[in-house]
Structure 1
Amino acid sequence: MVENVMSRTVRLMFAGSIALGMHAAYAQETTEAPMQRVEVTGSSIKRIASEASLPVQSFNQKDIKKSGVTTVTDFIQQIPAMQGFSVAADSVGGGGGGVTTASLHDIGAAYTLVLLNGRRLAPSNSGTTIDLNSIPLAAIERVEVLTDGASALYGADAIAGVINFILKKGAAPLELNAKYSRPEEKGGASNSFSISKGFGDIDDDGYSIFVSASHDEQKALKASQRSFARSGIINFNDPKTGQALQFINGSSRSAPANASLTYKPGYDASGAPSKLNPYALANGGKCAASNMDFYGDGNCYFDSPSTIEINPESKRDSLFSSGSMKLGKTGWQGFYDLAYTEAKIVSSIAPYPADFSIAKGSALYNKYISPNLTADQNANVDSVAATYRLSEMGNRTYDYGTKATHLVGGVEGSAFGWDINSAVTYSKNKQTQKYVSGFPLANQFNAQVDAGNIDPFAYPVGSMPDAMRQALLGTGFSGTYNTQTVEMKGIDGRASRDVFKLPGGTAMLGVGADYRNTSYKVRQADVAKEAQILFDNPQVDSDYSRDNAGAYAELMMPVTKKLELTGSVRYDQISAIDNKLTGVKVGKTEDAATWKISGKYSATRNLMFRAAAGTGFRAASMQEIAGPLEDWGVTGGNYQCPLTAANGMAGHPLAAYCNNVGRQQFEAFQGGNPDLKPEKSKQWSIGTVFEPFDSLSMSFDLWNVEIRDQVTSVSEGLIFADPAKYASLFTTKHISSTGRDVLAIKLLPINIGKVENRGIDYDFTHKMKLLDGRLTSRLSGTYLLRSRYTTPGTDDQWETSLNRYGSNDKVSFRNIIKATTSYETAKFTHTLSASYRNGYTDVNQSADDCAVIVAGQPGACYGVQLEVPSYTTFDLQSAYRPVSNVEITAGILNMFDRNPPFTLRNTGSHQVGYNPAYSSALGRQFYLSGSYKF
């Protein structure tokens, strides 16, 4: 029903405009402007932008303003061709580290090359992924999105495509911009401010400089501030049977604490409790507030999702400058780009989960454990551990601070018939991870417990005596945990020229070469190296570097007046990784030659066909190849220990660690794999651009990408669903606070096999005069025809996440649409837009998973799989220009206040009840902005 409503809405918004346009097309005014040859994203040859044979989506300043967004991330991620990216909300316990990314066609951020003025930036990690937080929105002139992959000019690793941010330059008036936005409900308000000015004219003054500075920030949004996210225990009904159910996302690390008991080898513990909650046993079996008995296993489970912030707090300050100057009378120009950004994301998740040992005979044991056991059980207890939630310390709060510096200096001009451009680049991305609060130091915490100053079993949340709370707070750590620095140094040169005549015009040749060195360093603070924080493992430093070199040639041939063909070849060489800490080379040097052929055929003045085919090549990141095995926190979901006889795993060497282990989050490690092979791809596209009359333009592009030997890690869900297949990914972790070894998993990268994605990008744009203004409508979308991948470790067992929550913990949406209609007069611009994303089949929560139980019946596990509905939002904006140099804009985002769709997803980031990667938790937002030029 919702999809039908969306379809009708889009048709009305767009078709109405076309109908009017067909009637009024004859009145369309066109202004001929001189056509300049420019560099088009995806090609090294200068040409008129509209002549490009590759599919490039272009967005100018007006498009950005009409979207109502405040950041580059928000703008890029609303483009229909974007799927599979990282959002700021991934930093809420999901390992995002504050980074936001772009991903074309759901192929992945690592395959989408992001450029600033046509050149690479320092990545946010040891690979090629760019943090969009480092790019200032206020400085952007336009954005060009090449949706066809593997570029000879930029690199064979751009398998999904290229996003090129082209920044402002040249003379411009002093401009001030300010904006304030706040949701209708509490939390998540944002504001931004920018100032810019351009000086000089390159032709008249011999120089040109543009400078821009901006600041933006967003307040945090707490789970408690949204009805759909305020609890990890969610009541709902089976849509097929009407059965009342509960979706459970509780943690066995509770407040007051649970106790986990083991018994001496050989003792028959079949009737002895392995788990108990002393507070509940002392209160008639009732768990304390903020805890519930879900499984009847003796534990009380803490509602940890209710305590988190579902959208993190963020701040960003940016400075950008570009300039050029004539180099005497040579006809050459020097140029530079400078971008500097300081960004911060503060993420707050549930209070610290603390496991620590309770010694037999200690005051805590005698008071809380011994009275709940028989004499025989007491005599045979081997060890006791408290599983505690340190609620009185407050939430764990992380501060991810990023400083990004990007500097390019170069020359361009003509010599011997060649148009030449060459530059050197220095780019640096430094991220400091700080622990702000909520992290106990192991020695101090254990000392306070041993001294009797902290009692984990007695006090529900909010009732701990002040003296005890102060003792607990006194064990906390605040400071830098680690610092990651990525530096990229490079030099490139490219040239193009006319080479020979053909019936359709002059053939043009482009050649070029580039070299860059990328270093990746992680420096752990002493608190991390020495595992000073409770429950932590020692962290290790990293220091890697490697070289990338490439050369290419591109030939564009206008075979006839209607047919143009372009062919290119590229050779890349990527060195082995130099581990600076050990002096050892890791992996091996990889190289490959790739090619690309494209063409366009102009059948008539109004009809053009285009096609392209090529190959790509990408090496795994330095961390994926050389990274040490290191602590990665805990799993996002709760699982039963899988190494059991029921799963045929009784003979596994780690099966003993399943004894007395209930449903819980498991420890996780991540690391590298030096045997990884490079990924290789084949891609092709075919499309058409049709303009039946001057006011209407339509484009369709069918694209296909195939990747073999893709590098990724097996998801936690897949490891626990098929423990026999992934038996090698289980290990143990030593918990120093309890003295126990516990079962853990390894999230290691492997070459999983093959990936195939195919789809259609389409765009309809209509412009017409209406009364005293201009009506512009645009409908764009991406329709996925195929999105599949082989099961990790196989090359012939295919899986898909298309319109379903897949084993990779993601959804590939078949249909994403954006429709916009804008009416502009001399004084006003009114814009209405709609964004649509289809529904999908949710994660299958089986009875064995026991993430869902019958309401009010602890342990009554229930299997259910939901259909998540489609999601459509509408935005409205009006801009008023009382005078030519002033613009005031007011708008509403998510005009009808649509809540995110309900989902039973419980992996990844810590938000539950909805998926933050696919919908915003902010709800209806109102904003007001102003612009003043003088």
Structure 2
Amino acid sequence: MKERNPLRDAVQIALSASVAATVTAPVALAADDDVAEQDTVTVTGSRIKRVDIETPLPVTTISREDIDSSGEISVAEVLRGSTFNSFGSFRQSSGSSAQSQSTVSLRGLGATRTLVLLDGRRIAGSPTFGSGSAQNLNTIPLAAVERIEVLRDGASAVYGSDAIGGVVNVILRKDYEGVNLAAGIGRPTSEGGDEENFSITAGVSSGKGNITFSLDHAAQDIIFNADRDFSDVGLSSFGFPGTMWIDGVGRVSDPRCPSGIDTDGDGVGDEPDPNAGTDANGVDLGSSVLRDTRCRYNYAGVSANEASIERDSFFVNSNYEINDSVSFFARGIVSRTESFGRYAPTPVVGGNPFAPTMSADNPNNPTRPGALLLADFPGFDQGQFGVFPAGATDFSQWDTDGDGAADIDCGANPDGACEITSIWYRNVPGGFRDSLVENVMIDGLVGLQGSNDWFGGSDWEVGLQHSSQTNADTTRGLVITPILQESIDSGAFDIFAVNGPTDPNVAQQSIHEGFHNEETRIIAADGAISFDVAQMANGSVPIAVGFDYRDEKFSQDYDGLQNAGAVTGSAGGEDITGARAAYAVYGEVAIPVLDNLEVDLKIRRDHYNDFGNATTPQLSI
């Protein structure tokens, strides 16, 4: 639970200079002139500019005041607690290439069907999610946000097919005057997750235009699973000590695996005992527990739940009045997000694509008579699945079915040892899997907008945009499977610590630091015009038509070993490069049927050079 810190509310240091001017208008020369001209606005989900912002669309607005009072430090956190996000969203979950990412899902349809816009325009999507099909909210600087409009309805006929779940339109600050400094800290009641943020926002205006900019820094510390009661235990089949498969016998746990703590009173340990210490060979027993014939590892004891995240961003927004009917506008954002996450040491998989094995004549084979003496692991819970007959002295004499005879009896093999055909093992000697992820978003927009007498009076706008996002992921502690198997076969790597503690230097020889780079990029152009086509008894009939064009590119590359499938501990992947072009034209008309009833008709025609065509109509009342 997050504890409200007074600095979150009180340290809002505002040095603002507001300019207010009172102008006495000339005496009206005609009765019609005393009606002040009102600005028109465009509401999310519609391309029509209106004086009356009420539309048939279900739009929720989160104001700047709402954002400030929430105490949150990111757009993702502001949206995550909203009712329209009732089906949840992705947060910066530790231990993956997406650990620095946060998304929003409207109406439970998923992040790839929820469109996120900046000032009504697309930005490059995160390359981590479906080749850029979802946007990373953590790249948007919160200090630059004026308000957030959420359309809780599909808008494919306006923005395209990926808006079927709804639209989140982040409106950025413009025409700001003065200087505002803000800082805050947050301290949860539990360990981890400390927050801090600092921002400066400033703007200056002239008679012709305005320039607004902001610098924003925000950070949140890592949260470990062990520091939360609901996540401090999570058992994996891949343990340390490990579990082996012996043909003719089945799955057999390393006998040093401790029985753990019985928390539910059924006589069987179900949680590791952190005070279990080490065995005679120096094997740490505090993170493992014997359950269901497997030595299971408590990965939650060392892994993180939420990755740390640190964001620095710069934003600038400007406009300039060229003449009475045409204005120039430009916007730029540079945002860098860095995240650190931790996974438990790499599990060496028993099964496809890699199952480490051990031959019967391996000097480190634990089934060799005399290799593991019962005196070295007195805490082994025999009663769970098998016993040692009277007089038994070592692990090879284990009777798993209770018939009085040793089952791990491979006398036909050298030294009486059994061949181990697969091993479930956690590479604890190799260290944690630590991930460092860096995201960079660069977005630039220029355009012209204006009003003129075309079609009896119209508003128009054209824009040109370049937007890109990169994701660089470096993960330590992965395992190169061929090297691990070679070190087992040669006897250099004593994976079961039969002959003493595992040499960490040998374990490190199979460790790999992998990298994974991704990028999405769009170059876009768009234009729209809106005007009234008719006058009805209940008001005018406005129409909007427009086009947009996008040139999209996606690429990803992995290091050579991950590309070749020679590494375990990460999903890996193939090097991919792809591109496509998308064109669209659209139209919209609003018909005032009654004073309080409006019918909106929309249609959009998309063409993709790699897919084909799509036509999307929509009717709103």
Q: Does TM, normalized by the shorter one, top 0.5?
A: yes
Structure 1 contact 551–571 (Cα < 8 Å) conserved: yes
1:176 aligned onto 2:215: no
Aligned pairs for 1:696-845 within 5 A: none
Q: Alignment partner for residue 426 of structure 1, among 466, 474, 477?
A: 466
How far 1:400 sits from its partner (Å)?
2.1
Counterpart position of 1:325: 320
1:140 aligned onto 2:145: yes
Write the letter of the residue equivalent to 1:114: V
Cα distance in 1 between the residues matched to 2:326 and 2:568: 62
Write the letter of the residue equivalent to 1:259: M
Counterpart position of 1:227: 229
Write the letter of the residue equivalent to 1:422: V
Write the letter of the residue equivalent to 2:318: G
TM-score relative to the length of structure 2: 0.77
Aligned pairs for 1:204-215 within 5 A: 204=207, 206-215=208-217
Structure 1 pair 314/396, CA: closer, same or farther in 2 (3 Å)? Answer: same
Q: Alignment partner for residue 551 of structure 1, among 579, 585, 593?
A: 585
How far 1:92 sits from its partner (Å)?
4.3
Structure 2 contact 144–315 (Cα < 8 Å) conserved: yes
Q: Alignment partner for residue 163 of structure 1, among 150, 161, 168?
A: 168
How far 1:376 sits from its partner (Å)?
4.1
Cα distance in 2 between the residues matched to 1:302 and 1:482: 28
Cα distance in 2 between the residues matched to 1:515 and 1:101: 25
Greater share of strand: 1
Structure 1 pair 538/36, CA: closer, same or farther in 2 (3 Å)? Answer: closer
1:688-735 per-position Cα deviation (integer Å, ceiling 9, x unaligned):
xxxxxxxxxxxxxxxxxxxxxxxxxxxxxxxxxxxxxxxxxxxxxxxx
TM-score relative to the length of structure 1: 0.52
Cα distance in 1 between the residues matched to 2:158 and 2:568: 50
Worse-superposed segment, 449-458 or 485-494: 449-458
1:438 aligned onto 2:438: no
How far 1:444 sits from its partner (Å)?
4.8
Cα distance in 2 between the residues matched to 1:513 and 1:302: 57
How far 1:113 sits from its partner (Å)?
1.0
Counterpart position of 2:8: none
Write the letter of the residue equivalent to 1:302: Y
Write the letter of the residue equivalent to 1:514: D
Structure 2 contact 132–520 (Cα < 8 Å) conserved: no
Q: Alignment partner for residue 389 of structure 1, among 423, 426, 445?
A: 426
SS at 1:279 equivalent: coil
Counterpart position of 1:471: 506
Counterpart position of 2:18: none
How far 1:459 sits from its partner (Å)?
8.3
How far 1:302 sits from its partner (Å)?
1.5
SS at 1:103 equivalent: coil
Write the letter of the residue equivalent to 1:413: G
Cα distance in 2 between the residues matched to 1:255 and 1:459: 13
Write the letter of the residue equivalent to 2:50: R
1:482-512 per-position Cα deviation (integer Å, ceiling 9, x unaligned):
1111111111100001222111122111101
Q: Alignment partner for residue 287 of structure 2, among 257, 266, 290?
A: 290
SS at 2:256 equivalent: helix
How far 1:91 sits from its partner (Å)?
4.1
How far 1:452 sits from its partner (Å)?
4.4
Aligned pairs for 1:264-275 within 5 A: 269=248, 272-275=249-252
1:120 aligned onto 2:114: no
How far 1:433 sits from its partner (Å)?
1.3
1:119-160 per-position Cα deviation (integer Å, ceiling 9, x unaligned):
001111325311111111110001111112124332243112
1:337 aligned onto 2:331: yes
Counterpart position of 2:256: 279
Cα distance in 2 between the residues matched to 1:107 and 1:521: 26
Write the letter of the residue equivalent to 2:423: A
Structure 1 pair 370/182, CA: closer, same or farther in 2 (3 Å)? Answer: closer
Structure 2 contact 219–310 (Cα < 8 Å) conserved: yes
Counterpart position of 2:377: none
1:744-786 per-position Cα deviation (integer Å, ceiling 9, x unaligned):
xxxxxxxxxxxxxxxxxxxxxxxxxxxxxxxxxxxxxxxxxxx
Structure 1 pair 475/49, CA: closer, same or farther in 2 (3 Å)? Answer: farther
Structure 1: tracts of 5 or more residues without a match? 1-31, 233-249, 263-268, 577-588, 600-934
Structure 1 contact 370–378 (Cα < 8 Å) conserved: no
1:541-562 per-position Cα deviation (integer Å, ceiling 9, x unaligned):
1111222221111112223433
Cα distance in 2 between the residues matched to 1:438 and 1:406: 34
Q: How many residues align?
A: 517
Structure 2 contact 201–214 (Cα < 8 Å) conserved: yes
Structure 1 contact 557–564 (Cα < 8 Å) conserved: yes
How far 1:590 sits from its partner (Å)?
3.1
Structure 1 pair 35/469, CA: closer, same or farther in 2 (3 Å)? Answer: same
Structure 1 pair 274/562, CA: closer, same or farther in 2 (3 Å)? Answer: closer
SS at 1:487 equivalent: strand
How far 1:57 sits from its partner (Å)?
0.6
Counterpart position of 1:591: 613
Q: Alignment partner for residue 542 of structure 1, among 576, 597, 601?
A: 576
1:552-586 per-position Cα deviation (integer Å, ceiling 9, x unaligned):
1111222343333221221122232xxxxxxxxxx
Q: Alignment partner for residue 41 of structure 2, among 23, 29, 38?
A: 38
Structure 1 contact 86–96 (Cα < 8 Å) conserved: no
Structure 1 pair 290/419, CA: closer, same or farther in 2 (3 Å)? Answer: same
How far 1:207 sits from its partner (Å)?
2.5
Counterpart position of 1:258: 243
Structure 1 contact 88–312 (Cα < 8 Å) conserved: no
Write the letter of the residue equivalent to 1:289: G
Q: Alignment partner for residue 413 of structure 1, among 450, 466, 485?
A: 450
Q: Alignment partner for residue 154 of structure 1, among 135, 156, 159?
A: 159
Structure 1 contact 287–293 (Cα < 8 Å) conserved: no
Counterpart position of 1:11: none
Write the letter of the residue equivalent to 2:108: D
Structure 1 pair 571/219, CA: closer, same or farther in 2 (3 Å)? Answer: same
SS at 2:436 equivalent: strand
How far 1:338 sits from its partner (Å)?
1.0
Please tell me the root mean square deviation across aligned C-alpha atoms, in Å: 2.9
Cα distance in 2 between the residues matched to 1:308 and 1:509: 56
Counterpart position of 1:374: 409
1:574 aligned onto 2:601: no
Cα distance in 1 between the residues matched to 2:346 and 2:85: 35
> Quick one: percent identity of the two aligned structures?
26
Structure 1 contact 442–535 (Cα < 8 Å) conserved: no
Counterpart position of 2:32: none
SS at 2:124 equivalent: coil
Cα distance in 1 between the residues matched to 2:335 and 2:522: 16
How far 1:291 sits from its partner (Å)?
1.9
1:467-486 per-position Cα deviation (integer Å, ceiling 9, x unaligned):
x22432454333x5211111
Cα distance in 1 between the residues matched to 2:178 and 2:527: 33
How far 1:442 sits from its partner (Å)?
3.7
Structure 1 contact 153–512 (Cα < 8 Å) conserved: no
Structure 1 contact 254–300 (Cα < 8 Å) conserved: yes
Structure 2 contact 255–395 (Cα < 8 Å) conserved: no
How far 1:88 sits from its partner (Å)?
2.4
Cα distance in 2 between the residues matched to 1:39 and 1:175: 28
How far 1:451 sits from its partner (Å)?
5.4
Worse-superposed segment, 318-327 or 40-49: 40-49
Counterpart position of 1:777: none
